Structure 1
Amino acid sequence: MPETNGYMRFFPYEDPYDDQRAAMDRIYNALSRQQDVLFEGACGTGKTLSALVPALEYAREADKTVVITTNVHQQMRQFVTEARQITRQEPIRSVVFKGKASMCHIDVGFEECQVLRDNTYELVDAERDRDQLERRQEELLDESQEGDERAAEARSAVMDELESVEAEVEELEEQNTCEHYYNNLAADTDEFYDWLFEDVRTPEDVYEYAGERTLCGYELLKDGMEGVDLVVCNYHHLLDPGIREQFFRWLDRDPEDVITVFDEAHNVEGAARDHATRTLTENTLESALDELDESDDPRAAAAQNVIGAFRTALVETYDDALGFGERERVGENWEDLSIANDEGRDDLTRAFLQGYTGPGVDEDLAAAAELGRELDEEYEEAYRRGDATTRTECQTLQAATFISSWVDEGAALGQYPVVSVRRDAGTEEVYGRAELYTCIPQEVTGQLFEEVYASVLMSATLRPFDVMGDVLGLEAPVTMAYGLSFPEERRRTFAAGTPALFSSERDDPDTQAAVAGALSDAVRFTPGNTLVFFPSYAEAERYHDLLDVDATVFRDEPGDAVEDLRREFTDSDDAVMLTSLWGTLAEGVSFDGDDARTVVVVGVPYPHLDDRAKAVQDAYGAAFSDRGDDPGWEYAVEIPTIRKTRQALGRVIRSPDDFGVRVLLDERYTETASEEMGKYGVHDSFPPEEREEMVDVDPTKLKFAMLNFYQGIGAYDGEPPTP
């Protein structure tokens, strides 16, 4: 491909990899045809630039804005690095955007911020009017002193208006305002924007710059996003429909003028599901009832009736669902309770409708929502005037809105009603929460991908593409996949046939001995660090005690400062890290070069199939019933599990000079056993080129296979270990 391709001006390095070059060309062509792209590229092969370079070129040609997004902090930092490299070669205007909560210097919530912003704007606007009137009356005074009678008459009118505006300013000064935002409006901010666009600034850079000058960096970024080439942001700016609408407004772009690039796009499914899920706690219901107790509005009785009935039903439902002694064992984390009912609607809905008495649920909910909206407006006005120190949120409005959704949508395909309980850390009391859990994410993503000009979704683990397209609601996307293009002789992938770690077999001493033996061999015959992923943290703890190695053993646990632990591990030269494949080290984290030489996945890490997971499985089974024999299991369980496994394998071998071994430790991964185990074998769930690289080995021979590989490339420093 000739270097005269226009998009190469945005490529910041000397030469792209061959696959990078091919991907850039195909993505550019797809964008020029307004097609979405599903782009799978092996870890470490430069996917970010492969997507970003042609997107920036097409955006410049067609007057679009590129928004690149991720849910992984390390990837956000990588985007900033790549954007800085690009702008040193071909200047681009970039903004890196985070949520208000992480950038606010006075730590107020969203609703309070909105009121403070409006109040401050009104104050500054009134002060500008006052200053303009003062200047005008001074001019008229000079003219009248020179004998101009009409100027004297005009000045009298201006003075009357000035007196009124000064009174308005005094009144506005009594209201709650924000000093930082005031300075945004009152000061000359050209210096900030000159600084901002000299380079690619992180939100932390902006926060520090703004804090030193008592400015609001968040609002400055919002005001400065118009006309930028590239925005880097988190998933929620695009996946939350309300935030997305505002976000595009800040960009001063219609959706059809935006090209979105999603990194780690295999996570979009779960993130979209989270953004669509709605909750209502018992505490909010009680606060709503207290709020209504203080209202003398005639609609309050109707609102109390329906909200009180829902609150009573919630308590009855979780009381009935908690078995003998279970209430005492409830902890501080939310715990789901089963409320499914074979006879129709869930237990909470049935309890609510049976317990409610009145003219009609819909009628009472409409009255509650109407009253709630009026109360919410009153709270905002009180905060605006300075009569309240905080912006109160209307609990009645929240409760009425949620209950309406619960009644109207709770039985719809893809909606799963849930009741959860937890123990309040302060009062030690158990309380409940109702939740509408969204099983099918395309209800969120389908609208997004239909609105924007085009989208590129990239990841090391997107295949099978048809499943990804179905789940996210993509219409006929262009698909492309590029495996590891680094030298094959510098890597090996072994499928070691240890006994299958079915949940029923994990406690078997013989199974444990076989797995621990193969795992210990993998650690001993690795010239450097070994990274080991288990189906759960509990399994990592189990094998921590069974390992027989001289290496330093690190174990990641929930709640650990994982970055500190990762740094300790990578600073070592003969260590093993034991962690869960469902933890934070399995994706989005690089272990380059000597950081880790061998990665092992122990078992097939199917997620715990709780009621939510089963609901997703059932919803997918119903939605995609024409896609095969068991699309629910395939879409909801097997494919996401294999994607997680592939992500874990991608933590090593990240560059052409890198080398390493990847081990799958469970007979279900082997080609031989998979043929015998039917649906339990997962060998065929991997993409073809990855299956071709898998070498079946007897677990007792794994050490010889690793010795031969590492010795063959001269990886051992000194004498190799003895089998």
Structure 2
Amino acid sequence: MSTTGEYERFFPYEEPYPNQRSAMAEIAEALDDERDVLLEGAPGTGKTLSALVPALEYARRTDKTVVITTNVHQQMRQFVEDARAITREEPLRAVVFKGKSSMCHIDVEYQECQTLRDTTRTLVEKETERAELNQQAEALLDRIREGEDGAGEARNTVTDELDAVESELEELRDGNVCEHYYNNLVGNTDEFFEWLFEDVRTPEEIYEYADQRQLCGYELLKEGMEAVDLVVCNYHHLLDPAIREQFFRWLGRDPEDVVTVFDEAHNIESAARDHASRTLTENTLEEALSELEDADDSRAQPAENVLSAFLGALRATYDDALGFGEREQVGDDWYDLTIANSDRRDDLTLAFLDRYEGRGIDAEVDLALQLGRALDREYEEAYKNGQATTRSECQTLQAAEFIAAWMADGGKLGQHPMCSVRRDAGTEEVYGRAELYTCIPREVTETLFEEVNASILMSATLRPFDVIEDVLGLSDPATMAYGLEYPEDRRRTLAVEAPALFSSERSDPNTQSAVADVLADATRFTPGNVLLFFPSYAEAERYHDRLRNRADVTSRLLLDEPGVETESMRQSFVGGDDAILCTSLWGTLAEGVSFDGDDARTVAVVGVPYPHLSERMEAIQDAYDRAYADRREAGWRYAVEIPTIRKTRQALGRVIRAPDDYGVRLLVDKRYTRASADMGKYGVRGSFPPEERAELVDVDPEKLKFAMLNFYADLDAYPDEPPRP
């Protein structure tokens, strides 16, 4: 069992933050009991080191490897900084791992890379074999000169083998190989690994080092992952079951020898859902049918029976689902159509069953799978031997695998069949996609958490813990929550009794005017930058325009939009004083992005930013209602309310990130006030954790300016004379 002295040797700084020492002790105890941990800590309170320090000590003592993962790019950089700091206190072998696509020097797809790697390895093995045979031939020639009996016959056998190897080498050289990986295999890479473990290297540094030496940094990194203490990676390395199996193999570890640490763990639910969902486009089906036309195989006809029926059913289904004039509105993004039924299978499945005329779907899907695997092997061989310049993907195999899953799983709880359409940018034609959407993420995550030694899930917004346990499939985790321990007199959290921004009320001019008045006061009485988060980019643009047209708003006004690079927008905002940034709460700036000190003084969440209540969201609600039928309004609470409040709390956490920091946090909507108790499930004040709820101070819109003036004036925060109410 660990002691404080043992794990604190991994702590790289002079003194832990408030509550950090307590969190490290609790996590160390939980790891000794091989229990999972749910850690909620306010932004800026050192959650990463609270988890890493005891995890690294536990792993060192019990011969485990720690894998820390995030889906937020900025947090990856923070992990690297923390790991580098630790290595200066305690020797640590750490690698930072990214996907192949971001590290490939010749820009090929995954399957091509796999094939190139195999052919290149075979080439090097044959070259090694040739060198060994040459040595044998030379030795036998000496023995022939010495007159040894049988030496001549033996040498003839060796030279015959040499001729065969030379012929194979000639074929391999005419095929496709990767020169970067070839250099990995034939060169001395000791220098690379010495450099790699001198410090904690980023994937960008590894790419540059390898590129200068014509090496494959990705493959070298995989080789170097064995016997490391710490790996930093993206969510998909753990949440995708196929990638996870390979990832652990590269680590040289069985799952029970791995401790996982998930940062921003409130995002696991949606990330797992994305990894589990499966899709099949109309284009893939068309390409598969073309592939079958060229296949001289008895299984081609059964495969064609299945795939052509599914393609026809897909087209007929989205044609029927598109309403009058709706096709003309379809754009470049996927547009969902309703095909699910409450009392029977979905419309696409019914149309497929109606169109299919073969000898049995299960049998013919199985034949399509067999043929697809055979064709896929042929494509690999053609690429290996140079008959093809690219490694083709077998479309028949992809289509058959999807149809098999669709028929087997489409009616199961938590699986929601969907159909979507989009417009082809080249042809302007509308085409379709079938999707099996996974609503309940524990189908992906539960196995992971059962397999590994222990997992630490940390976030500023994990509570309520019982919900995260249910949703992700965690069993009896240790739970701990640490609030914002910085001085309370340096922050205010105000619930403004502004109109409730229900979607039906947002277009009301009176509502807009009242909210704009509140925001204008908030900006005028803030001595510095103001962050405004809205339920959508459209609402952000609406109030950006309203504020721009007001004479009393003189601040530098910025509008965030979809597709804008996060760091460039952040830099524009923090690049000067007295700026206002309007953005969506569901955008990239609401979490994982730091606004420290003078970067932002006031943050406001305008409205209760429920996600768009799409069919996907309704499907998730329905799945949770059915899975947790004993819980009152489980669907609404698990799928809508709690994720929304987590996002709101994340946004509020963009300010007050250090003990000497100060600022105001605003919730602009009467649903956050005490009056919301009479609003049923739409009143959200009660969804905040108790200590955060206790800090909420209700304020009339007309009194907001006075509340902010008093707070900032007491801190002597105004550089000149305070503004006059």
Bucket of the pairwise TM-score, normalised by the shorter protein: over 0.9
Measured in 1, the distance between the counterparts of 2:500 and 2:156 equals 93
1:420 maps to what in 2? 420
Within 5 Å, give how 1:388-403 maps onto structure 2: 388-403=388-403
Q: Are 1:663 and 2:682 matched, yes or no?
A: no
1:624 maps to what in 2? 628
Q: Are 1:714 and 2:712 matched, yes or no?
A: no
Task: Map Cα deviations across residues 337-378 of structure 1 (whole Å, 9 max, x no partner).
Answer: 111234411111111111111211112111111111111111
Distance change (3 Å), C-alpha of 1:30 and 1:393: same
Contact 2:340 2:416 in 1 (8 A): no
1:40 maps to what in 2? 40
**SS of structure 1 residue aligned to 2:463:** coil
Q: Which amino acid aligns with 2:200?
A: V
**SS of structure 2 residue aligned to 1:416:** strand
Task: Map Cα deviations across residues 160-218 of structure 1 (whole Å, 9 max, x no partner).
Answer: 32222222222221221110000000000000000000000011001111111111000
Q: Which amino acid aligns with 2:231?
A: V
1:314 maps to what in 2? 314
Contact 2:18 2:45 in 1 (8 A): no
Q: Which amino acid aligns with 1:570?
A: V
Task: Map Cα deviations across residues 362-420 of structure 1 (whole Å, 9 max, x no partner).
Answer: 12111111111111111111111111111111111111111111111111000001100
Measured in 2, the distance between the counterparts of 1:162 and 1:341 equals 67
Q: Which moved more, 1:147-156 or 1:229-238?
A: 147-156
Q: Are 1:564 and 2:576 matched, yes or no?
A: no
Superposed displacement of residue 428, structure 1? 0.9
Q: Are 1:452 and 2:456 matched, yes or no?
A: no
Q: Are 1:437 and 2:437 matched, yes or no?
A: yes
Superposed displacement of residue 321, structure 1? 0.9
Superposed displacement of residue 39, structure 1? 0.4
Q: Which moved more, 1:340-349 or 1:514-523?
A: 340-349
**SS of structure 1 residue aligned to 2:9:** helix
Superposed displacement of residue 138, structure 1? 2.0
Q: Are 1:521 and 2:525 matched, yes or no?
A: no
**SS of structure 2 residue aligned to 1:231:** strand
Contact 2:4 2:25 in 1 (8 A): no
**SS of structure 2 residue aligned to 1:583:** coil
1:244 maps to what in 2? 244
Measured in 2, the distance between the counterparts of 1:320 and 1:59 equals 57
**SS of structure 1 residue aligned to 2:279:** strand
Q: Which moved more, 1:505-514 or 1:596-605?
A: 505-514
Superposed displacement of residue 309, structure 1? 0.5
**SS of structure 2 residue aligned to 1:457:** strand
Q: Are 1:600 and 2:604 matched, yes or no?
A: yes
Runs of 4+ in 1 over 6 A off after TM superposition: none
Within 5 Å, give how 1:493-504 maps onto structure 2: 493-504=493-504
Task: Map Cα deviations across residues 440-494 of structure 1 (whole Å, 9 max, x no partner).
Answer: 0000000000010000000000000000000000001100000011111111100
Superposed displacement of residue 97, structure 1? 0.3
Give the counterpart of 1:585 among 589, 602, 608: 589
Which consecutive unaligned segments of at least 5 residues does structure 1 have? Answer: none
Measured in 2, the distance between the counterparts of 1:168 and 1:282 equals 41
Measured in 2, the distance between the counterparts of 1:407 and 1:143 equals 69
Superposed displacement of residue 149, structure 1? 4.1
**SS of structure 2 residue aligned to 1:176:** coil
**SS of structure 2 residue aligned to 1:18:** coil
Contact 2:60 2:229 in 1 (8 A): yes
Superposed displacement of residue 654, structure 1? 0.5
Q: Which amino acid aligns with 1:517?
A: D
Measured in 2, the distance between the counterparts of 1:562 and 1:240 equals 26
Superposed displacement of residue 702, structure 1? 0.5
Within 5 Å, give how 1:224-373 maps onto structure 2: 224-373=224-373
Measured in 2, the distance between the counterparts of 1:501 and 1:718 equals 35
1:480 maps to what in 2? 480
1:63 maps to what in 2? 63
Measured in 1, the distance between the counterparts of 2:399 and 2:264 equals 35
2:652 maps to what in 1? 649
**SS of structure 1 residue aligned to 2:286:** helix
Task: Map Cα deviations across residues 90-113 of structure 1 (whole Å, 9 max, x no partner).
Answer: 110011000000110111111111
Measured in 2, the distance between the counterparts of 1:435 and 1:304 equals 21
1:205 maps to what in 2? 205
Give the counterpart of 2:676 among 669, 674, 677: 674
Measured in 2, the distance between the counterparts of 1:144 and 1:564 equals 75
**SS of structure 1 residue aligned to 2:630:** helix
Measured in 2, the distance between the counterparts of 1:123 and 1:701 equals 77
Superposed displacement of residue 141, structure 1? 2.5
Measured in 1, the distance between the counterparts of 2:341 and 2:200 equals 54
Contact 2:497 2:668 in 1 (8 A): yes
Q: Are 1:637 and 2:647 matched, yes or no?
A: no
Q: Which amino acid aligns with 1:460?
A: A
1:409 maps to what in 2? 409
Within 5 Å, give how 1:47-196 maps onto structure 2: 47-149=47-149, 151-196=151-196
Measured in 2, the distance between the counterparts of 1:341 and 1:561 equals 40
Task: Map Cα deviations across residues 57-101 of structure 1 (whole Å, 9 max, x no partner).
Answer: 000000000000000000000000100000011110011000000
**SS of structure 2 residue aligned to 1:21:** helix
**SS of structure 1 residue aligned to 2:19:** helix
Q: Which amino acid aligns with 2:36?
A: D
2:30 maps to what in 1? 30
Q: Which amino acid aligns with 2:710?
A: N
Measured in 1, the distance between the counterparts of 2:153 and 2:378 equals 42
Task: Map Cα deviations across residues 121-152 of structure 1 (whole Å, 9 max, x no partner).
Answer: 00000101111221232233234334444554
2:615 maps to what in 1? 611
Query: How many residue pairs are counted as aligned between the two chains?
Result: 720
Measured in 2, the distance between the counterparts of 1:450 and 1:420 equals 35
TM-score (norm 2): 0.98
- Cα RMSD after superposing both structures: 1.2
Measured in 1, the distance between the counterparts of 2:4 and 2:513 equals 60
Q: Which amino acid aligns with 1:594?
A: D
Distance change (3 Å), C-alpha of 1:524 and 1:298: same
**SS of structure 2 residue aligned to 1:336:** strand
1:381 maps to what in 2? 381
Task: Map Cα deviations across residues 487-513 of structure 1 (whole Å, 9 max, x no partner).
Answer: 111111000100111111112222111
Measured in 1, the distance between the counterparts of 2:4 and 2:700 equals 52
Measured in 2, the distance between the counterparts of 1:129 and 1:366 equals 41
**SS of structure 1 residue aligned to 2:485:** coil
Measured in 1, the distance between the counterparts of 2:132 and 2:616 equals 62
Q: Which amino acid aligns with 1:715?
A: A
**SS of structure 2 residue aligned to 1:5:** helix
**SS of structure 1 residue aligned to 2:621:** helix
Q: Which moved more, 1:509-518 or 1:7-16?
A: 509-518
Identity of aligned residues (%): 70
Q: Which amino acid aligns with 1:275?
A: H
Measured in 2, the distance between the counterparts of 1:514 and 1:434 equals 44
Contact 2:671 2:684 in 1 (8 A): yes
Distance change (3 Å), C-alpha of 1:154 and 1:356: closer
